[in-house]
Amino acid sequence: MTKVLMRGNEAIGAAAIEAGCKYFFGYPITPQSELPEYMARELPKIGGIFLQAESEIAAINMVYGASGAGARVMTSSSSPGISLKQEGISYIAGAELPCLIVNIMRGGPGLGSIQPSQTDYFQATRGGGNGDYRVVVLAPSNIQELVDLVIEGFDIADQYRNPVMILGDGMIGQMMEPVEFKKPKPRDLPKKDWATTGTKGKRKPNIINSLYLEAEELEEHNKKLQAKYQAIKENEVKVESYNIENADVVIAAYGTTARIAKTAISQLEKEGYKVGLIRPITLWPYPYDEFEKINDKCKGILTVEMNTGQMVDDVKIAVKGKYPVHFYGRTGGMVPTPGEIVEKVKEIYGGEI
Amino acid sequence: MLNDKRLRFIVGHYASGKTEFSINYAIKLVEMGKKVALVDLDVVNLYFRSREKKEFLEKLGIKVIASSVNASAVDIPAISAEVFTPMQDTSYEAVIDVGGDPDGARALGRYKDYIVEGDYDMFYVLNANRPETQTAEKAVEYLRKIEDTARARVTGLINNTHMLKSTTVEDVLKGQEVALEVSKMTNIPIKYISVIEKIAKDLPDNLEGEVFPITLYMREDWMI
């Protein structure tokens, strides 16, 4: 297929339809509203259903229902809307239902602003709902990767019967770039024999539920969930790294910020600085092991984010105190420039190349 | 450019490249010594609007008119009353950057009294690399819908078929074929072929429409 130019939000919709998603439940919010608009226009054409719910809470519970019935289904929102969905996400994780949730992040806290941010890192990776559950969090850095991860995200969700979240900042939703739609590497997906599709009198009813009346049973259920999360940690980590074997400073960044960091790195290289990059593509499971490959002479790690340093905790866990961990971030919808990152790296160098 | 009418409305499909064209067009006019106003009528987009370049453009001497609410992150369709200035003051050469799709063109209805046949140009920006305007039929459908909502006729086509910084001559020529087909179907001439500077010189010189080299002002260094 030839490349076309698409805006991030539209590309998510096109990718989801390509992946066989036929149901979308959501509620509009800037800066992701082009996605429900796209689905409202395109899903009826393929016999699917777009439904604008009365609220984000209703939308996520519609996802619960559709997924319980075995459908490929998704919802999307932006930061404050994703906050509203947390209860439903916990229920979905508890009931072991696959679905795709898209968060195109905007400035916070509260209503914040409509401009790009990465301030929902904690919420996405630690869970904003109750209980010991995990959501697979994918953080694309360009629109092609966004498309690829949306398509693969549905498969990951089905394989593990778990919600998968696409975590993009407002730039990812709004930016236009060339994309093409490729088939993901095939996965051996389990049959959805747990779905509530009607017994036709031939089997016992399937029950979709997250409530357990016996403590022992709930503990068993939690053990099962933990075993699943362990398998995801072993199989699904995605990371891109650059020059960490030789770098004096390694930048850790994801999403749009990683793009800006790459531009800063090429500027620094022209001046003789040796700077590497670790770009987590999965924020959960986090690519802790990648940091083990950083060379011993590295002077420090610079985490760059559009927040006040939420990923710093994971970077510190990863480097185990071996290197100092620095931070540079902008908030409120401000996007860091390559020049600002260049200055910060030079500061860590302390005036010596 | 100087033969274009004083009021130039730039319309087109969502994300077809209206804003980049508008900014470049306004800058060329001011370089010719004209008194220029750039009106950002975009109430559809929230990112990448010409108002983000207000300071830069005003330094060049262009009057930038946008929302009546002075904040970059405004999510409400508030249009400044000042938009009437270049409509009424005929000493201005005006470039009016209209929001994408028929939805964006709706904002033009308010200025119906000033959109008088023969006194304005309305340029339809066409990017054949956008999925919804890849064929002439689809592009004409959009064009007609925009005309209906705007209550005004398109007077010229702009072939702005691109792939951002990696645009090739083939992209432009592919778009030119679609634009020619649209031109045939609608009887509207191709006025400009808007193309990034580095490939402008490689285009064949027998193309319909004036080659209009542009600089991408809305794309940051780190964007492709």
Say what the ipTM of the complex is: 0.89
Q: How confident is the model at residue B97 (pLDDT cuts 50, 70, 90)?
A: very high
CB A210 within 8 A of CB A94: yes
**How far does CA A255 lie from the centroid of its chain?**
9
Q: A175, A179, A270, A279: best mutation site toward chain B, by most B Cβ within 10 Å?
A: A175
Please give the structure tokens belonging to residue B175: 């778009």
Cis amide prior to B102 (ω within 30 degrees): no
What pLDDT, on a 0 to 100 scale, did the predictor assign at position A1?
57
Q: What is the pLDDT of residue A184?
A: 86
- C-alpha distances in Å from residue B56, one per residue of A280, B27, B51, B64: 36, 11, 10, 10
> At the topology level of CATH, where does A240-350 sit?
Rossmann fold (3.40.50)
Strand partners, A165: A101, A137
Confidence (pLDDT) at A179: 96
Name the residue facing A263 among B72, B162, B222 (closest C-beta).
B222
Cβ distance A263 to B75 less than 8 Å, yes or no, reads no
- Which residues, 6+ apart, have CB-to-CB distance to A321 below 8 Å? none
Instruction: Establish whether domains A4-236 and A240-350 are of one fold.
Output: yes
Q: How far is CA B191 from CA A158, B25, B158, B211, B216, in A?
A: 51, 13, 6, 9, 20
Q: Are B150 and B163 in contact (CB under 8 A)?
A: no
Pairing of strands A275-280, A239-242: antiparallel
Distance CA A174, CA A164 (A): 21
Contact list, B72 vs chain A (CB under 8 Å): 115, 333
Kindly indicate whether the domain formed by A4-236 is annotated with CATH number 3.40.50.970.
Answer: yes
Which pLDDT value is given to residue A198? Answer: 95
Cβ distance A127 to A135 under 8 Å? yes
Question: Helices marked H in chain A — which ranges?
Answer: 8-18, 34-42, 56-68, 79-84, 86-94, 121-126, 143-160, 170-174, 215-235, 255-270, 312-319, 338-349
Q: Are A137 and A283 in contact (CB under 8 A)?
A: yes
**With an 8 Å Cβ cutoff, is A206 touching chain B?**
no
**Around B56, how many Cα atoms within 13 Å sit in the side-chain half-sphere?**
10
The DSSP secondary-structure symbol of B53 reads G
Burial of B170 (0-12, 13-18, 19+ CB in 10 A): exposed
Chain A residue with the nearest C-alpha to that of B75? A114
Distance CA B220, CA A304 (A): 18
pLDDT of residue B104: 86
- The pTM for the full model equals 0.94
- Whole-number pLDDT of residue B46: 73
* The token pair that represents A180 in the structure block: 């093409």
CB contact under 8 A, A7 and B162: no
Map out the domains of chain A as residue ranges. Answer: 4-236, 240-350
The whole-number pLDDT of residue B77 equals 74
- Is B160 in contact with B17 (CB distance < 8 Å)? yes
Residue pair A264/A236 in contact (Cβ under 8 Å)? The answer is no
Q: Distance (Å, rounded) from C-alpha B146 to C-alpha B155?
A: 13
CB-based contact, B187 to chain A, within 8 Å: no
Asked if residues A123 and A83 have their Cβ atoms less than 8 Å apart, the reply is yes
Distance CA A12, CA A105 (A): 14
B46 touches chain A (CB under 8 A): yes
pLDDT confidence band for B43 (50 / 70 / 90): confident
Residues 6+ apart with CB under 8 A from A153: A19, A100, A136, A138, A164, A166
Residues in A closer than 8 angstroms to B42, CB to CB, are none
Q: Distance of CA A163 to CAs A159, A198, B91, Å?
A: 11, 23, 60
pLDDT of residue B28: 96
pLDDT of residue B103: 85
Neighbours of A22 (CB within 10 A): 17
Q: Per-residue pLDDT averaged across B116-143, rounded?
A: 95
Residue B163, beta-bridge partner list:
B165
State whether A178 and B221 contact (CB < 8 Å): no
**Nearest Cβ partner for B222 among A4, A31, A260:** A260
- Say how far apart CA A257 and CA A275 lie, in whole Å: 15
Contact A89, A101 (CB under 8 A): yes
Angle at A192 between CA A191 and CA A197, to 5 degrees: 135
What is the C-alpha to C-alpha distance for residues B162 and B174, in angstroms, rounded to an integer? 10
- Residue A287, chain B, CB below 8 Å: the answer is no
Average pLDDT, 10 consecutive residues per value, chain A (353 residues): 90 98 96 96 97 98 98 98 98 98 97 95 95 98 98 98 98 95 92 96 96 97 98 98 97 98 97 97 98 97 98 98 98 94 96 72
**Cis upstream peptide for A31 (omega within 30°):** yes
